[in-house]
Structure 1
């Protein structure tokens, strides 16, 4: 064991689940980023200075010290990550300059989009080394044009063991608030070359948010115990698969024989397109999430299962759900209210929608499927039984051996053989919702030095998770979608690119106000 660092607390089941995924290299990390415009203050230093990590370290060191003061989880590392009982340790200090890198986009590029996509993809393919007890499990990338520095992107990449998407958003929002306060109070900070100390010292003995299992009863019911134990443990893999309905999960079955390399496509909707999507959801009495889900299902069937000699299989759709607002009123909960979005921790579960089918005669209705999905989400989040199942989804982890090294890792890798095609779902669509990040100075009298245009959210591919992972975030009226997939799961990057293009086209066609309904055959006709 490692005692040279302060022991903060044990790592609990859902947190250990994320540690284990790292240990067996089936899932790497999450990224939250923001695209922002800089005032003339930032454009005053020499160009070569602005393109250096040293410049950005000087700019960010003050705000990041305050961020770690507010969020002590960013000062954590994992002790004994490969053991049966890992725990959180606190770093005595960290060097911010080692956590920041700058990616430049050629001046000839029409936009920074390609650079941002490449940077996030590279981040997803750089797993955190949990055995390194000298560096935190987060880092940042700044993406900017080598000549035009008014529009910049900042990407914050982190390990799921310390945060979920909601809490990571709080980190980025706070960082920009602090950057703007700093710029208003000390404009000269933009060109201050005297700053040479980039050390951040996390405050000792600061508590971190509690794990989900300590806040409410997550233990599964007898019915769930019997069912899940039979499916996941007692049944041989061949029998389990034979008893389940088959479903599509990529071009190729999952395997541990090849690296988990992530490929990525970013999709940004304009403000006008975003407004049209929101307006359509309101008029149809549904949600943006439901519309996006159906568009993703139609796109998957169109691109991967439509055409000569192509077999049309059902889909399994995964809907991640935040538990922050759902558990405080549960029996046995120790909470007096919802878990704040600012609490750094992982408070998520998942609904699995099984046996989703698009009719062979192509008569499936976009809006009927949207309504059906919406009703399933309501049952899964608004009823006592639904919330209990969300808690049981990861509460089953309590049944895994707690003291045998490697037992969780074996359980994870066995999913390759237990699940259809080695993956538990066809598509996962995680939506962090909408947010407005203020863009005025602290006094409100002038525009901020760092004006956030929009933000994005992305996750690395998961070997045993979904074939396609879609991550959605809407900030300041702009909807962004990141779609990731394991490189080894498809016949080339163009397959994923084609899927994303079809997703957007189907979505915009379906919400056309002049259309009463949108059938799958309409979708096929528009792509032939």
Structure 2
């Protein structure tokens, strides 16, 4: 008879948001990828390199409680995290064959597209995370390796992926002499992990009566009593839960010199990178779609709630992997999209900077108000999470697209030691959220990577290809790099 797993704690409201999406096959995983420069003394010893990386992964697992739990009852309202007493590392650490430098991005894109389209197997007995390694060959040695950390969104948020790589880099530089419980490819975990509390316990979100009533009215008020907006933003095709759950990816690299100038250009206009990239995407989609179909847009940006955790909390928000996230909407006035469309001078960037300023204003407003009157705090009033998502079938999507910016990871600067030279961020194309996500990650002082993720049944691939092509041209131009 199969033994029952030991419950660590019930899933919180935001965690159940992700477990229910996963159980309904609506959203699968998040990935943060790091390219590591391998020290010259390590690159030619392929087996030694594998063993070293496995030990480094185990070192991170032993310090991160959320990497040591599984999930039970995803199809129920009583979903819980459970203790995983033994991890078979052969199921969680996978090596691909080596790639040439000019083919690694194509291999990565293919792998990410596949992985983002697959649900996690047997999550009651396996922690829902995986590390995939793709060596980049330099002669006979592996000069670099791509390390893909993929995870179920209920155990980690995007920032957790950055933390994983920061801690992995530290483990590679300073390996532990002893790793308790490691026997070959098996990691025995006898003690229950001391997991952090859920988001709603860590962050004190106050809900005002006007916000509470307005949210309920938006969710349950009869449509015939609601006023119709004068201009309806474009949000791709409506939600159709019968469509294939497929994720396509496109990787766009921004070299370090251009990335630095892009950030400087944004600062010179009193905005940050996130509003500027939103503005460039708005300009691209505005030029590709007619005003009759897309009079305006309302994108969104995930926002970390780590800053909202009180200092009295007994865990390190900078180094602990968990879920602490909300989202900010950015309604863009139709007058600005009209201005973008009417701009005939390709050297006139004023409309782009106006849109960036508009997005920054809405982002600043959100940052000033959190954690109070936050929609995520309303999840505690959802009694049936699966029904919550099923009833969205046929509805308009929440936003035009999502832009998620992880920021820059410190990759180290010792040329003779382990260091990260690139970071990438990607995620599943959600069946119930924006059909397109643009995911941004970088290395401090290094290059920037934009990964576009979309479901071709929701957003036309030609449109996404146009966005990618425009960004490839406009990013250097806005950065002030002239050919």
TM-score between the two structures when normalised by the length of structure 2: 0.88
Q: Report the alpha carbon displacement of residue 76 of structure 1 after superposing the two structures with TM.
A: 0.6
Deviations 1:321-362 (A, max 9, x none): 111113438xxxxx4599612222111101112244301662
The 1:239/1:484 distance shift into structure 2, 3 A limit, reads: farther
The answer to whether the 8 A contact 1:219-1:398 is kept is no
Partner of 1:8 in structure 2?
8
Whether 1:456 aligns to 2:418 is no
Task: Check if 1:118 corresponds to 2:98.
Answer: no
1:79-98 superposed matches below 5 A: 79-98=72-91
- Selected match of 1:350 from 327, 344, 348: 327
Counterpart mapping for 1:386-401 below 5 A: 386-389=370-373, 392-401=374-383
Q: Is the 8 A contact 2:13 2:379 kept in 1?
A: yes
The CA deviation string for residues 47-101 of structure 1, in whole angstroms up to 9 with x for no partner, is xxx4xxx876533332222212210210111121111111110100101111122
Shift of 1:298: 1.0
Whole-angstrom distance in 1 between the partners of 2:322 and 2:427: 16
Compared CA separation, residues 255 and 506, structure 1 to 2 (3 A): same
For the pair 1:424 / 2:398, whether they are aligned, the reply is: yes
Residue 468 of structure 2 is aligned to residue 489 of structure 1: no
Structure 2, unmatched stretches of 5+, are 344-349
Partner of 2:232: 246
Alignment: residue pair count:
466
Mapped contact 2:137–2:144 kept (Cα < 8 A): no
Q: Report the counterpart of residue 43 of structure 1 in structure 2.
A: 43
Report the equivalent of 2:152: 159
CA distance in 2, matches of 1:4, 1:279: 56
Q: Determine if contact 1:11/1:86 at 8 Å carries over to the other structure.
A: yes
CA contact (8 A) 1:104 1:115 kept: no
**Structure 1 runs (4+) greater than 4 angstroms displaced:** 54-57, 145-148, 238-245, 336-339
Change (3 A) 1:347 1:153: same
Closer, same or farther in 2 for the Cα pair 1:155/1:347, shift >3 Å? same
Output aligned runs, 1:499-510, within 5 Å: 499-510=467-478
1:175 to 158, 168, 171: 168
Q: Tell me what 2:438 maps to.
A: 470
The answer to whether the 8 Å contact 1:290/1:373 transfers is yes
Paired residues of 1:303 and 1:502 also in contact (CA < 8 A): no
TM-score normalised per structure 1? 0.81
* Distance in 1 of aligned mates of 2:361 and 2:271: 9
Q: Is the 8 A contact 1:57 1:96 kept in 2?
A: no
Give the alignment partner of residue 74 of structure 1, picking from 55, 62, 67.
Answer: 67
Corresponding residue to 2:283 among 298, 313, 327 = 298
RMSD: 2.8
1-side partners of 2:380 and 2:385: how far apart?
Answer: 11
Q: Secondary structure at 2:7's aligned position in 1?
A: strand
Q: 1:211 aligns with which of 173, 180, 198?
A: 198
**Is structure 2 residue 242 aligned with structure 1 residue 268?**
no
Mapped partners of 2:255, 2:83: distance in 1: 42
Deviation by residue 1:140-185 (Cα, 9 ceiling, x = unmatched) = 11123567521221100001101111122111211122123349x8
Q: Distance in 2 between matches of 1:82 and 1:28?
A: 15
Structure 2 vs 1, CA of residues 66 and 513 (structure 1 numbering), >3 Å: closer, same or farther? closer
Partner in structure 2 of residue 525 of structure 1 = none
Contact 1:456 1:480 in 2 (8 A): yes
Instruction: Tell me how far 1:247 sits from its aligned partner.
Output: 1.8
2:135 to 122, 144, 159: 144
Contact 1:260 1:487 in 2 (8 A): no
Contact 2:203–2:308 (8 Å) recurs in 1: no
**Other-structure match for 2:308:** 326
Structure 1 residue 12: deviation in Å?
Answer: 1.0
Match of 2:346 in 1: none
8 Å contact kept, 2:436–2:459: no
Residues 415/245 of structure 1: CA separation in 2 closer, same or farther (3 Å cut):
farther
Matched residue, 1:18: 18
Q: Tell me the distance in 2 between the aligned counterparts of 1:502 and 1:211.
A: 40
The alpha carbon displacement at 1:412 in A equals 0.8
Change (3 A) 1:166 1:513: same
